[in-house]
A = this chain, B = another copy of it.
């Protein structure tokens, strides 16, 4: 399966940009449709070209919504994993229906690796392959879309790349020492790769071999295959699904946005009123600062990984304040294994059966990882308070519970930073209107989005109390003026870098 054509496919920058633009819209819309579909997606991205694999995963995170996919990088098994069968670590992180699980390397590559270093013999390899087939078939039969990509770069190209990286490490920083080892291992392993690909290329879990020699055609090919598969599976699901209630069309008459009452805001300082919402940043300065911040963040998070320094970033703010965009600017410059983005909406029934903090405890990051929360435990004192989902004694005691919880994270050595992204009601309405026009389904609005606006002042009171009662020197709140997205993003990136820097003692 590993033949590549003699001629390398070439795609110009302009051609790439044009196709990429339409692929992105379609991919994110497919991902949005998936959210309410009755199946999950298991994506295995692997290959003999490690850098290529990582670049594809980065691309996915750039093109799609990281909040609805979980990416898993498998390194040496933990002691809890070693005590179970090898497939336990894949099973424990399988995505639920509606979500995408991205598995780097994982079961196929592990089998090849173990065979190449003679940790298993031919019989062991055959047995492993049988388990892989059964595993993938089980998932597929359960409705999971299983897709596998093998990035293949011929030996001679790979050798040339490594030689170049040795000569000029700075411009080829993606190449690590491990890649030289991998090159050696794959020297012996290619026959095993062939066996693996042949034996596990099935109707229910096909392999797609991607030519790793050139980035642009590789990326487009990956995007196309992924999109086709997603769309085909969604069509199938739609054909067999029950009809759902019609989507709500947002109200368009002026009455939909009642005047925002300016009532009393409670006894806490109105910290939001003091924010200068007019602050902005010019495009050129933004681009420069963004590059600078992202480069800084990239090196800080590499250092954090090496030192085992974890961090927890909490994002709260008005709907449409731009949380998603900020989070994307943070993750863009980071290695995929170094962060995890978790969105919080309604709890599952296992979560509802326990204390409300349980669902957050279970997500805490391992050493060296950054956990980025799109909404968080603060829901207890924001939406649950304002909408009366929690009783008054419940949200009142939450302040103390939260302060203690965050103190424990800090004592464990984690960096904890919290961000409130602030806009005013007019800006929000303008953004809602704009969203109605975008081709991205992820911005589909519901009546609830509009209804929430009626309680603006209650939310402001809740934010003021929250900031007053839970901002601590070790886990501070940052109130960010978010009318100008450029200003907002740089403010957040700056704060994240500063906190990491202080904790790591870096300069």
Contacts and interface: CB of A to CB of B under 8 A. Distances in A.
Interface in A178-210: none
Interface in A336-393: 348-350, 353-358, 361-362, 364, 366-367, 393
Contact of A353 (B97, B353, B400): B97
Nearest to A130: B404
Interface in A403-419: 404, 407-409, 411-412, 414
B353 A350 contact: no
A95 B96 CA distance: 22
B144 A362 contact: no
A320 to B, nearest CB: 29
A366 B80 contact: yes
A348 B411 CA distance: 34
A40 interface: yes
Given A139-B355, A353-B97, A355-B139, A83 B362 contact: no
Contacts of A258: none
A92 interface: yes
Contact of A358 (B91, B141, B353, B401): B91
B83 A310 contact: yes
Copies of this polypeptide in the complex: 2
A422 to B, nearest CB: 30
Contacts of A354: 40, 94-97, 142
A131 interface: yes
Given A134-B401, A349-B350, A400-B134, A361 B92 contact: yes
Contact residues on A (Cβ < 8 Å of other chain), bracket: 35 or more
A364 B131 CA distance: 17
A83 B408 contact: no
A267 interface: no
B366 A409 contact: no
A5 interface: no
Contact of A91 (B138, B308, B361, B394): B361
A355 B401 contact: no
Nearest to A141: B397
A353 B404 CA distance: 33
A367 B94 contact: no
Contact of A362 (B91, B96, B367): B91
Given A85-B412, A135-B404, 17 more contacts: A79-B79, A79-B80, A80-B366, A83-B366, A86-B412, A91-B357, A92-B361, A92-B362, A94-B355, A94-B358, A98-B353, A130-B404, A131-B404, A134-B401, A138-B355, A141-B397, A350-B350
Interface of A: 40, 78-80, 83-88, 91-92, 94-98, 127, 130-131, 134-135, 137-139, 141-142, 144, 308, 310, 348-350, 353-358, 361-362, 364, 366-367, 393-394, 397, 400-401, 404, 407-409, 411-412, 414
